[in-house]
Structure 1
Amino acid sequence: MEAIVGKIYQLLTVYGLKVIAALAIFIIGRWVAKGVRKLVERLMAKGRVDGTLISFTANLAYIGLLAFVIIAALGQLGIQTTSFIAVLGAAGLAVGLALQGSLSNFAAGFLLIIFQPFKVGDLIEGGGVFGVVEAIQIFTTQFKTADNKTVIVPNSKLTSDNIVNWTVKGTRRVDLVFGIGYGDDIDKARSLMADIIAQDNRVLKDPPPQISVSELADSSVNFVVRPWVKVEDYWGVYFDLTEKIKKTFDANGVSIPFPQRDVHVYQHDADAKEKSA
C-alpha cells in the first residue's frame, strides 16, 4: 500500500506541476487572445473599417492565438506537438485545395472591403451586372437591378474585371441625339432645346449643358444634347427631355426626319405585250 501511495505521490510531483503549468498557460493565453481581439476591433473601428471585416479579422486573430496557446499547453504536458502540427498543416493544405474557389472569393472580398472601390448604395457596373450594391460580404456581393431582381456575384468575378462606379462622382452626363431636317433652321432648333433644358430644375448649371451639331447624316442634321444631372435624376431627365423636345419640335414646325424608301415596280411583261399589239 505504501508503495502505491509513493508511486501516486511521485506521479503528482512530476506531472502535477506540468498540469498546473499547462492550465496556467491555457487560461492566461486565452485571456491574452481575448484582449488582442478587443484591441484589433478597437483599432479597426477607429480606422472606420467595414464592420464585416472588423469582425472577421478580430475572430481570425483570436482563433490563431488560441491555437498557439493550446499547442503550447500540450507541449508543457510533454505531448509531442510536432506531428500534431504536421497533421494540421496537411489538413489545412487539403482544405485549401478543396476550397480554392472560395478562398479566391474570400481574398477578393477582403480587398473590396479594404480598398472600397464601391460601397453599399452605390450604382455600379461589374461582373456582368448593372445595379445598386445592397451588401458586401466576405465571399459574395449582392446587387439589386433596375427591374428589382437580386443578383449575387462572387467577389473574385468583380475584382478580375473592370468596375464602373456611377455614384462616386455624384453627377452623370445625359447623352441625347436629335436630328432635324436639312431644310430646318439650326439656330431655331438649338434655341428650342436650350429653353427646354433651362426649364428643368434637375439639370445642373455647372458644368453647362452642351448643344452642338455633331453630324451631317444622310437625311438629317444631328445634334448632341448633353446636360449634367445628379446620379439619381439621370433616367427621369433622360425620358422627360426626349419627350418634351419631340413635342416642342412638332409644335414649332421643326421636322425630325425618319428613314424612307421609294419602291418602283416595273412590269416588263405588260410593256412587251403592248409593243407587240
Structure 2
Amino acid sequence: MNINLASFKEQIILAVTQYGGKVLLAIVVFIVGRYILGKITRLLSNRMSAGHIDKDVQPFLTSLISVLFNVLLLLSCAGILGIETTSFVAMLGAAGLAVGLALQGSLANFAGGVLILIFKPFKVGDLISAQGFTGHVEAIQIFNTLLVTPENKTIILPNGALSTSPATNISGKGIIRVDMVFAAGNQNKYDDVIKSLEMAVSKCKYALKDRNHDVLLTKLSENALLFDVRVWTNSSTYWETYYAMHDGIKRQFDEDKIAGPAINLNVKDLQ
C-alpha cells in the first residue's frame, strides 16, 4: 500500500513537473487573451459607431469577430498544452466547405446584405430602380431587400444579385427631375403651346419654386409638336408630380383651347 502511494505521488510530481508549466502558461494566455479580445471588440464597436455603420449590422459584425478571435485563442491554448490541432482545424475547414457549398446562394445573399448595410448605396425610404423593378425601399434585411411599387406590390429582391448589379437610386439626392413628353397638334401656334405648358408647370403644387423647369420642343412630326417637360420636385413626391402634371396639362390645354394631334401617335413618335 505504501509502495502504491509512493508511486502515485511520484506520478503526480512527474505530471506537475512535465505539464504544470504548460497548463499555467495556457491559463495565463487564455486570461490575457480574453482581456485583449474584449478591448479589441469594444474598440471595433466604437469605430463602427463612429463610422456610421448601420446599427442593425453592428451587433452581428461584433459577434462574428468575437467568435472568430475566441476560436483562434482556444486553438492557441490547445497548442500550448501539446494538443494536436491540425486535424481539428482540417475538420473545421471541411465542415465549413461543406456548409458553404450547400448554402452558397444564401451566403451570397447574406454577404450582399452586409455590404448594402455597411456601404448604404440606398436606405429605407429611397426610391430605387433595380432588377427591372422600381419602388420605395421598405426594408433591408440580411438576405433580401423589400421594395414597394407604386401599385403597392411588395417585391422581394435577393441581396446577392442586388449588391453586384447596377441599381439606380432615384431619390438619393433629395430632389429629382421628372421628365415627361407631351404632344400638341401642329395646327396650334407654337408660342401658345409653350405658354400653356409653362402655365401648367407653374400651377403644379409639387414643382419646386426655386428651380428652373424646362419646356423644350423636342421633335417635329407630320401632325404634332412634341415637347420635353422637365419638372424638379422632392424625391418623395416623384409620382405625385408625374400624375399631377399630366392632369394639369390636360386641364390647361382645354382651358387654352390647345388642340391635340390630328391623328393618334404611336410609341415611336414619342421617343
Using structure 1 for the length normalisation, give the TM-score: 0.82
Return closer, same or farther for 1:158/1:39 CA change in 2, 3 Å cut-off: same
SS of alignment partner, residue 134 of structure 1: strand
**Mapping of residues 190-209 of structure 1, within 5 Å:** 190-209=194-213
Residue 135 of structure 1 is matched in structure 2 by 139
Runs of at least 4 residues of structure 1 off by over 3 A? Answer: 12-21
Partner AA of 1:117 in structure 2: P
- Unaligned regions of 5+ residues in structure 2, if any? 265-271
- Show CA shifts across 1:213-246 (max 9, x none): 2222232222222221111222222222222222
Change (3 A) 1:204 1:68: same
User: 1:80: which partner in 2?
Assistant: 84
Summarize deviations over 1:47-89 as a string: whole Å, max 9, x none: 2122234223322221121111111221222211122222222
The alignment partner of 1:175 has SS state of strand
- Does residue 174 of the first structure (1) align with residue 178 of the second (2)? yes
After TM superposition, give the deviation of residue 179 of structure 1 in Å: 2.3
Question: How far 1:17 sits from its partner (Å)?
Answer: 4.1
State the distance in 2 between where 1:182 and 1:141 align.
47
Helix, strand or coil: the match of 1:227?
strand
1:49 to 35, 53, 57: 53
Aligned residues: 260
- The separation in 2 between residues aligned to 1:52 and 1:99, in whole angstroms, is 23
1:71/1:81 contact within 8 Å kept: yes
The residue number in structure 1 matching 2:113 is: 109
Shift of 1:258: 5.2
Aligned letter for 1:123?
L
Aligned partners of 2:7 and 2:175: how far apart in 1? 90
Residue segments in structure 1 that go unaligned for 5+ positions in a row: 261-277
Q: Give me the CA root mean square deviation.
A: 2.4
Letter in structure 2 aligned against 1:120: V
Is the alpha carbon distance of 1:250 and 1:144 closer, same or farther for their aligned partners in structure 2, counting shifts above 3 Å? closer
- Secondary structure of 1:211's match? strand
Give 1:10's match in structure 2, choosing from 14, 28, 32: 14
